[in-house]
Amino acid sequence: GENVEQHPSTLSVQEGDSAVIKCTYSDSASNYFPWYKQELGKGPQLIIDIRSNVGEKKDQRIAVTLNKTAKHFSLHITETQPEDSAVYFCAATSGGGADGLTFGKGTHLIIQP
Amino acid sequence: DTAVSQTPKYLVTQMGNDKSIKCEQNLGHDTMYWYKQDSKKFLKIMFSYNNKELIINETVPNRFSPKSPDKAHLNLHINSLELGDSAVYFCASSPLGRELFFGEGSRLTVL
């Protein structure tokens, strides 16, 4: 089955700086890679996703890149703000959507004022 | 309007008891899920269910059983609770297997 590794487990950055979270996956058939943000006391919420036919996707301050050859994908957050503090999860699946998602172990992002 | 709602939000119980967590979604989605999040924040699928098929993660003990009275509800029943069942349980729904919409979670503590 799929195995998703996520690094780092904790990331502390100064407000205004950029943050990068990296994930690797094992199943070359995986074709859908979402990122979820979980705020304290809440359920995870989708913030961006990418499919295997695209190398990069951007939405305002958030971008995701995918390297299929190396089987890794990354989340980039620019101009970080206090409200970006949360736990971020990457995930992967060969099912093309929500079914069969394997999540990484999460990254606790801390934005220092 | 809450899209995916779970009750109760907190549940404290003794080992050996049987408990249920209820989940309702008002999004009209076809598929519902139960996820378990342990103390290290690791998210793991337990079940996925639509009106045709129940898919069970093979690592889930058979003390856990989902029950769906209708398309908008997927309840989780747990028998003979054990200490290791303590976790946050998330219900989620999805339209045709696309984005997951999570509830706010139910924190279960087994004493």
Kindly determine whether residue B43 and residue A95, on different chains, have CB atoms separated by under 8 Å: no
Summarised one tens digit per residue, pLDDT across range A35-84 is: 999 999 999 999 999 998 889 999 999 999 999 999 999 999 999 999 99
Q: Give B10-62 pLDDT, tens digit per residue.
A: 999 999 999 999 999 999 998 999 999 999 989 999 999 987 788 878 789 99
| CA–CA dist B111, A40 (Å, integer) | 24
Residues 49-88 of B with CB under 8 A from A: 55
What tens digit of pLDDT does each residue of B57-67 get? Answer: 878 999 999 99
What's the CA gap between B22 and A54, in Å, rounded?
38
Long-range contacts of A41-44 (CB under 8 A, 24+ apart): A41/B104, A41/B105, A42/B104, A42/B105, A43/B4, A43/B90, A43/B92, A43/B102, A43/B103, A43/B104, A43/B105, A44/A89, A44/B43, A44/B90, A44/B100, A44/B102
Structure tokens at B15: 């080992």
Query: Does A49 contact B at CB distance below 8 Å?
Result: yes
